Amino acid sequence: MQHIHFFHHQELPVPGSTAKPVTYPVCEWRAPKGHVSDDAQHPLNRFVCSWLTSDMADVVRCDEALSALAQLQNHSLTEWFADGDMFCVDFKTNGVQFNQSNVGPEDTDWWNLPEGRFALAEVNAVLQAWRDFLAKAAKH
């Protein structure tokens, strides 16, 4: 889980607006220092971190997914599906497949991309750390 960072981002209102700034939690993968990388296009950013930031921004939702992952790992569940605003995520005992919500299975060029597939244990570890980050932030 190295190179995954959790932080709060503040979005400022349009100049001249009376709106208040908005702060939200963000998950981001960053390349190790000294490596040349397009961080935004890294699969962990494109899929896992984007999913956490967009669709898993509250502890209750994280707990629901973690419960399903635990059931998958102990084989009391064979599959689970999470449909969110940004991603459709298919959890199975042999891995996790991320698909963008705006793409349907009929668009075979963009559905079930190999770079959108991750090990169950890897997604579980990042999700647990993200959940803990959200819970800790809620206490402050």
- Structure-model confidence comparison of residues 133 and 108, the more confident one: 133
- pLDDT for position 88: 94
User: Which DSSP helix (H) or strand (E) runs through 100?
Assistant: strand 95-100
- pLDDT for position 37: 62
Where helices occur in the chain by DSSP H, the ranges are 43, 50-55, 59-73, 120-139
Query: Rounded to 5 degrees, what are φ and ψ at 108?
Result: -60, -20
Query: Whole-prediction pTM value?
Result: 0.88
pLDDT in tens, 34-89: 565 667 788 999 999 999 999 999 999 999 999 999 999 999 999 999 999 999 99
Nearest to 115 by CA among 66, 61, 47: 47
User: Which DSSP helix (H) or strand (E) runs through 97?
Assistant: strand 95-100
Nearest to 130 by CA among 63, 50, 52, 54: 52
